[in-house]
Amino acid sequence: MRVLAIGDVIGKPGRAALKRLLPSLVQDERIDVVVANAENAAGGLGTTAETAEDLLAAGVHVLTGGNHTWKHRDFPGYMERTPRVLRPRNYPTGTPGRGMGVFALPDGQEYAVINLIGRVYMDPGSDNPFLAADAAVAELAGRTRVVLVDMHAEASSEKRAMGWHLDGRVSAVWGSHTHVPTADEEILPGGTGYVTDLGMTGPYASVIGLDPAGSVRKFVTGLPSPYRLAVGNIQVRALLIDVDAESGRATEVRRIALRLSE
């Protein structure tokens, strides 16, 4: 099974890049499963039903979320109706939506996606992501060996710790949220594919997706700056993961970087 994990989709620029570039990438690389983090897909903050449907129509099979999941009031109800759209599993019991899903390829082969959120410098009100991951893996036992994990977190140490914590028990762990791609893609000793952060799908002539001038002004002066998305150098950043469906082990990982022609 060939899996494409796509970094945080940033607003309209990121959605446009996926619409243009994803179909040919899927065809050329013979990709079976596409998972994308969509928590910044609506104007750079949160997700709406409309933007989620936009990404699913572009060829994404499963959408994951993060700390901006609750930005738009209509979205919780949409998640309840849409199994392919996830939010972090380690939010408290009773939170709308699902933190994990089991899905099937056209040939019937099943795979699972787990969405987690970190707590270091991030979301102290969430439950322990490591214990939530343990419970999710236990729940999936005997169902499918192909298990994919999006660890949406600020601290690289917390993301790397999750990779090692789940090594040999899941097929892949990738980090999202910080919007900067890391160069540490690897297969851990137990057979789990890993990267600390996928990067983002959106404008790279930016400060993590935002207009550089406004971001610089804020750091220089300490004063608030308008939240304005950047528009230049739009790229798709992702990790391509080959998984042996019988064992659930990753056999190869490779970073993907595609630029949208302007």
Give the residue numbers marked as catalytic.
68
For residues 151-169, b (16+ Cβ closer than 10 Å) or e, as one string? Answer: bbbbbbebbbbbbebbbeb
In order of 31, 66, 229, 250, 258, the CA distances from 210 in angstroms are: 30, 18, 4, 34, 19
**Residue 210: beta bridge partners?**
207, 229
The residues, ordered by sequence, that sit 6+ positions from 51 with a Cβ below 8 Å of its Cβ are 15, 38, 41, 42
**Residue 103: beta bridge partners?**
111
CA distance 179 to 204: 9
**Residue 207: beta bridge partners?**
210
Q: Do the beta carbons of residue 145 and residue 124 sit within 8 Å? A: no
Helix (H, G, I), strand (E, B) or coil at 219: helix
In order of 2, 15, 68, 77, 138, the CA distances from 72 in angstroms are: 33, 18, 9, 10, 32
Of 214, 164, 237, nearest to 18 (Cα)? Answer: 237
**Residue 52: beta bridge partners?**
none
What secondary structure letter does DSSP report for 59?
T
